[in-house]
Structure 1
Amino acid sequence: MSAALQQLDAIAARVAALRNNEGGSVTTLSDEARASTELLGALPPRYGEVLLGLLDRLESSAFFSEESCSFSQKDLLDNLQVWVDKARGQLVS
């Protein structure tokens, strides 16, 4: 398995854990995703831009309760899952 796919699998596992309330932290997800240089290098540049935007909003949402933040953490995690699915499609095609 390529390093890019391994990094994508790690991000997908973190997103799934957060979506399913199985532990993990937004900070860990964000740090790992930002450090996934093999993955980001293997994808078109726009994927990196979208990922960083989602991570920025997710990190911001972690500082507030769901009611006081303009970013829904659930929606952002759902969007990250969509990003993971599309990135996987790019890597395996």
Structure 2
Amino acid sequence: MQHQDTIQLLRDAVSALQNNGSSVASLCQTWRAQAALLSSLPPRFAEVAENFLERLETGSLFTEESCSFSQQDLLDHLHGWLDQAQLALNRTANA
């Protein structure tokens, strides 16, 4: 799978969770399975993504009011992560 296809797969997974068509566990499993994409990006990308995924998993154990992690904010951060990953891949391809 091309990296662009993988980024779209991850965008779709985030959107599915936002639209209640998926679960946090499914999103995290899909995200973590993309080792080829993560290994093609600088190491910091994997660290940041894992941080967001861990917060999502932790937050899913509590009601929104009792957790300090906003699921919507974390999903917004994942969208931003994907935008930055896309830029990094484009810079690498054009270098």
Q: What is the aligned-residue RMSD (CA, Å)? A: 1.3
Q: Find 1:90's aligned residue among 79, 88, 91.
A: 88
Separation in 1, partners of 2:54, 2:71: 11
Is 1:6 the counterpart of 2:5 in the alignment? Answer: yes
Q: Give yes or no for contact 2:55–2:69 (8 Å, CA) kept in 1.
A: yes
Shift of 1:5: 2.2
The normalised TM-score by structure 1 is: 0.90
The normalised TM-score by structure 2 is: 0.88
Separation in 2, partners of 1:80, 1:25: 15
Separation in 2, partners of 1:31, 1:18: 12
Q: Say which one has the larger Rg.
A: 2
Which residue number in structure 1 is paired with residue 62 of structure 2? Answer: 64
Separation in 1, partners of 2:64, 2:17: 15
Shift of 1:22: 4.3
Is 1:25 the counterpart of 2:23 in the alignment? Answer: yes
- Identity percentage of aligned residues: 45
5+ residue gaps, structure 1, are none
Q: Give yes or no for contact 2:13–2:30 (8 Å, CA) kept in 1.
A: no
Runs of 4+ in 1 over 2 A off after TM superposition: none
Shift of 1:53: 0.4
Q: Give yes or no for contact 1:7–1:38 (8 Å, CA) kept in 2.
A: no
Amino acid paired to 1:12: R
Separation in 1, partners of 2:70, 2:27: 17
Which residue number in structure 2 is paired with residue 15 of structure 1? Answer: 14
- 1:24-69 C-alpha deviation (Å, 9 max, x unpaired): 1111110111110110011000000000000000011111110011
| 1:26-65 superposed matches below 5 A | 26-65=24-63
The alignment of Structure 1 onto Structure 2 pairs a total of residues equal to: 91
